[in-house]
Amino acid sequence: MRKVLLAMGIYLFAYSTPVTGDFVWSALRPGLEMEQGQFQDHGKSVRFVLLRCDPARNVVRVVDTFHEIGKGNALAAFSLREVMMKTGSLLAVNAGTSYSYSLPIPGGLLLTHGKIITPVNRQAHNSGFLCVASDRLVITDLSGLRPENCAYAVQKGPLIFRETAASVSDFNHRTVIAVDEQQRLLILITEDAASLPGIAAFLYASSPELNVQSALNMEGGATSGLLIAPELKAQPSEVGNVDGLVASAIAVYSRKAQ
Amino acid sequence: MSKKDAPTSPPPPSRASAVFEAIKLDFNTIKIIVLTAAVVTVLIATPLVLVLSKFVTFDALDDRFKVTDSVRPKILQTIAEGLDTGYSKNFIISSSSTDNTMLFYASQGQKVTLSISAESIGPFPQVSVYLNNCPIEREPRSERFNWYEKDMTSLLKSYMCGPDEPNLHTLRIVVSGGVQSGTELQMKCLVLVYQRIHDPPKEQLPK
């Protein structure tokens, strides 16, 4: 049994170790940086885009696409492109699950402007929450959630821990958010299919300079997408599916615009 | 003792009745054996059938014994060779709460085509047609248009455009800016799914 566990450990260490060197962040605007690179995930090379946002210098919030984009129009696309177009965000990334491709029906907690849009889904296994409070960002499990303290919150999962690197999961296009030691928001989006253990190894073990404190897997696959406003002149400015329907999005705004 | 007073003894059994008695005895034995065997079989088979019915499907048995291998192509395919499946809906959109979706079934790899005829009374709104979670065209249409058997097969193979539920696809009409008052948009849509029988969906085991 010990030999099997040792062999599994060696295998995971050998094949999940990212090959990235030091990060070279490019500043898109004050408090918003971007990094592109690739890491190794079980022998596969995974390209990624990583954004780091300082909430002290930018506004981070969760957008309820149905009420904020639709505004009475159930025929809207409810996509990240519409989130950016209609709310004037600097960037938009997909957040929680939608139960349908016809209407943005949130799966789990969605809280915007201090108001609960949909309640917590307590049946969801190992789910986590991003809570945007007035002074800080929190990624937590259900036991640590205090909705009354959140201005915005969204539920998804699973939570990604350091130990997730030794688990098993399927490969998919991923959107992952994390909070670092300095309370900055990290947004990781993969351009190739990746596993959660591979991402955990990249975030925690192979990139200690990121100082990740907690991480949460957001909706992946066909919904995973990131859109950056053209004025920030980011390359690439679109990753994944930015036209698909999303129930909720995480958007970043300049403090002036808000 | 006279001959007359001699006691009478039963006549010895005839050969025929002896054979009959033997058969009667054997028949009873056989009857008991058969009945016992039947009861034992029923007792064993009932739980076995109940358990196996959860795991053994017709497809699984057929995969092993190849019973329908020679029959299925000859009969089923002959019956169904002309039966491609079609799904149609005439969307009449005059308000922002009109039903704008149509579901259709297509298994992986099947050829799917879409035909649309779009017209409007009043100004034509900006319209996009979505298949699952993907717009079919990058730019929305802003005037009347017609598509005739536009091939969707490769689009459906993309990871972004897969269905919400396995094999159950959603066609959605998106009007981002809404519909102006007095405008009536008509979208006649026809989805054709070809050759379903060449790739029959696998039988699902009960959950």
pTM of the model: 0.74
B195: number of Cβ within 10 Å? 15
**Lowest mean pLDDT: which of A64-78, A116-130, B65-79?**
B65-79
Residue B176 contacts A, CB cutoff 8 Å: yes
Q: How far is A184 from chain B (nearest CA, A)?
A: 30
Helix (H) or strand (E) holding A83: helix A80-87
Give the range of the structural domain holding residue B157, as residue numbers without chain letter.
Answer: 84-198
pLDDT higher than 70, residue A125: yes
Q: How far is A240 from chain B (nearest CA, A)?
A: 8
Token pair of A146, please? 């205090």
CATH (domain of B91): 2.60.120
Residue A176, Cβ density class (10 Å: 0-12 exposed, 13-18 middle, ≥19 buried): buried
Q: Are B185 and B141 contacting, i.e. CB atoms less than 8 angstroms apart?
A: no
Task: Determine, yes or no, domain membership for B65.
Answer: no
Task: Determine, yes or no, domain membership for B15.
Answer: no
> What percentage of chain B reaches a pLDDT higher than 90?
41
For residues A37-45, average pLDDT: 91
3-state secondary structure of A136: coil
pLDDT higher than 80, residue A38: yes
On chain A, the residues whose CB falls within 8 A of the CB of B104 are: none
pLDDT higher than 90, residue A18: no
Q: Which ipTM score applies to this complex?
A: 0.79
Residue A170 contacts B, CB cutoff 8 Å: no
Residue A184 contacts B, CB cutoff 8 Å: no
Residue B94 contacts A, CB cutoff 8 Å: no
pLDDT in tens, B21-62: 777 778 888 889 999 999 999 999 998 888 887 777 778 888
B136, closest residue in chain A (CA to CA): A243
Residue A76 contacts B, CB cutoff 8 Å: yes
pLDDT higher than 50, residue B1: no
B122: number of Cβ within 10 Å? 13
The total of structural domains in chain B comes to: 1
Residue A221 contacts B, CB cutoff 8 Å: yes
**Residue of B135, B162, B174 lying closest to A76 (CB–CB):** B174
Q: Roughly how many angstroms between the first and final C-alpha of chain B, as a whole number?
A: 93
For residues B152-179, average pLDDT: 89
pLDDT in tens, A143-160: 888 989 999 999 998 999
Calpha distance A130→A144 (Å, rounded): 11
For residues B65-78, average pLDDT: 68
Residue A75 contacts B, CB cutoff 8 Å: yes
Query: Average pLDDT, whole number, for chain B?
Result: 83
Task: Determine, yes or no, domain membership for B168.
Answer: yes
Q: How far is B163 from chain A (nearest CA, A)?
A: 9
Label residue B68 by pLDDT band (50, 70, 90): confident
A100, closest residue in chain B (CA to CA): B164
Task: Determine, yes or no, domain membership for B73.
Answer: no
pLDDT in tens, A196-222: 999 999 999 888 889 999 999 999 998
Query: Average pLDDT, whole number, for chain A?
Result: 88
For residues B161-188, average pLDDT: 90
The pLDDT of residue B74? 63
Q: Give which of B120, B133, B181 to mutate to test A binding, by max A Cβ within 10 Å.
A: B133
pLDDT in tens, B89-143: 999 998 888 899 999 988 888 889 999 999 999 999 999 999 998 999 989 999 9
Q: Give which of B174, B179, B187 to mutate to test A binding, by max A Cβ within 10 Å.
A: B174
Label residue B205 by pLDDT band (50, 70, 90): low
Q: How far is A224 from chain B (nearest CA, A)?
A: 9
Q: Give which of A84, A85, A97, A101 to mutate to test B binding, by max B Cβ within 10 Å.
A: A101
Task: Determine, yes or no, domain membership for B135.
Answer: yes
CB contact under 8 A, A222 and B133: yes
Amino acid identity of A129?
A: F
Task: Determine, yes or no, domain membership for B157.
Answer: yes
**Residue of A76, A101, A245 lying closest to B176 (CB–CB):** A76
The pLDDT of residue B65? 82
Residue B170 contacts A, CB cutoff 8 Å: yes
pLDDT in tens, A57-74: 999 999 999 998 877 788
On chain B, the residues whose CB falls within 8 A of the CB of A74 are: 96-97, 100
- Per-residue DSSP letters for A163-224? GGGGS----B--EEEEEETTS-EEEEEESS-B-HHHHHIIIIII-GGG-EEEEEE---GGG-
Higher-pLDDT residue of A216 and B205 is: A216
Residue B161 contacts A, CB cutoff 8 Å: yes
CB contact under 8 A, B96 and A240: no
